[in-house]
């Protein structure tokens, strides 16, 4: 059943009902298996939750207002459903193709990404390098009407399920950070293989893998945008990706704080609710204030993004601050849950494990502070 978007309240209600009905009953099994089944993507596609910002002619809903993406993320968090795979598919790859793809590429790929028939991933990180695109070693050599790609990628979200992967490759030995191109590599292309699923400590339902390319033959028609401008495209698209991660951070912090407030009012020690002890009360008061500040910060960032005014530095600031706060809130709330919080399947335990990756992917906190400090002339 396709979700109709007429206003934000109805959309939130429809998302919540859909997730509870179609996704939540199966999700625990997927987390145990370390892989969501294809039905997960197909159901999301049938409901209209994939490629929302893509225009209807290419299978989407044409809802470019980022507040719709925020609502979906918030409901995913509240439902306990895995988030990184959907962010990679929706806010990264579908956005890249919609922004950079030519008419033929959009017609070829976007309808199936929006329907869930194809799963998308983006592959930039390599075994010997992380956030710096200048470190990319995967090479694409032009051979007539195709490229030969050699190299490897690691820690790739949706790496096992992905049918279409936007891969950052070196196409020219230019100055630092230059000569990078984006190739869309498809599942059955000769020379492309993937390793076993990587076992993570959190987001267990989101599959992650290593990808390998050995003389992988990629048609030049799979080049996204222009050759050697990949680094520019990354910089242009990064604010949306980091805003997505920040949205996860704020929604997660709000969710675990609310759950913890309910818990500390019921759990007793020394004949009184543990939330009534002064230390705990003051700590929760501080967390509540900081999380509310984060919500105001996020709402402002979304407004700037919708106006086209959200910069790379803005994205670095909010991603750094909200993900660090998410980790802090998750850790304090786990402590208040005591032994229950240390259980893997508890809300506090899952939240804590999932929070840890947030300061790593999409640019580490250290890299983000480098970006911020440079903007200050330091």
Active site residues per annotation:
241
* Whole-angstrom distance, CA of residue 184 vs CA of residue 324: 33
3-state secondary structure of 214: strand
C-alpha angle 228-317-230 in degrees, rounded to nearest 5? 5
Nearest partner of 301 among 315, 290, 287, judged by Cα: 315
- The token pair at 126 is 């390599």
Q: How far is CA 214 from CA 42, 192, 311, in A?
A: 31, 7, 37
Buried b (16+ CB within 10 A) or exposed e, 178-196: bbbbbbbbbeebeebebee
Nearest partner of 204 among 344, 47, 108, judged by Cα: 344
Q: 151: part of which helix (H) or strand (E)?
A: strand 146-157
């Amino acid at each position: 059943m396709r979700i109709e978007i007429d206003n934000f309240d109805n959309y939130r209600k429809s998302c919540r009902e859909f997730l509870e009905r179609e996704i939540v009953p199966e999700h625990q099994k997927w987390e145990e298996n370390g892989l969501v089944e294809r039905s997960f993507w197909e159901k999301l596609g049938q409901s209209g939750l994939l490629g929302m910002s893509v225009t209807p002619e290419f299978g989407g809903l044409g809802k470019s207002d980022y507040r719709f993406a925020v609502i979906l993320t918030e409901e995913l968090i509240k439902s306990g459903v895995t988030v990184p795979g959907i962010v990679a598919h929706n806010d990264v790859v579908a956005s890249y193709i919609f922004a950079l793809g030519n008419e033929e590429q959009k017609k070829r790929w976007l309808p199936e990404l929006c329907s869930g028939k194809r799963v998308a991933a983006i592959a930039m990180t390599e075994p010997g390098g992380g956030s710096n695109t200048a470190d990319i070693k995967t090479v694409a050599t032009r051979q007539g009407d195709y490229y030969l790609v050699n190299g490897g990628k690691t820690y790739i979200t949706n790496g096992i399920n992905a049918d279409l992967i936007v891969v950052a490759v070196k196409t020219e030995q230019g100055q630092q950070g230059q000569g990078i191109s984006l190739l869309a590599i498809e599942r059955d292309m000769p020379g492309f293989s993937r390793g076993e699923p990587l076992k993570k400590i959190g987001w267990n339902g989101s599959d992650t893998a290593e990808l390998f390319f050995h003389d992988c033959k990629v048609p030049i028609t799979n080049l996204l945008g222009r050759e050697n401008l990949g680094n520019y495209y990354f910089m242009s698209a990064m604010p949306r990706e980091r805003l997505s991660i920040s949205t996860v951070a704020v929604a997660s912090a709000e969710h675990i704080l609310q759950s913890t407030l309910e818990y500390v009012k019921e759990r007793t020690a020394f004949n009184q609710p543990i939330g009534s002890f002064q230390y705990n009360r003051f700590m929760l008061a501080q967390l509540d204030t900081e999380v509310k500040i984060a919500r105001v910060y996020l709402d402002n960032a979304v407004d700037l993004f919708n106006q086209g005014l959200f910069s790379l530095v803005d994205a670095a600031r909010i991603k750094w601050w909200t993900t660090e706060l998410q980790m802090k809130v998750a850790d304090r709330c786990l402590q208040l849950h005591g032994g229950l919080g240390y259980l893997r399947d508890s809300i506090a335990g899952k939240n804590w494990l999932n929070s840890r990756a947030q300061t790593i992917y999409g640019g580490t906190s250290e890299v983000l502070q480098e970006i911020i400090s440079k903007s200050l002339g330091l």
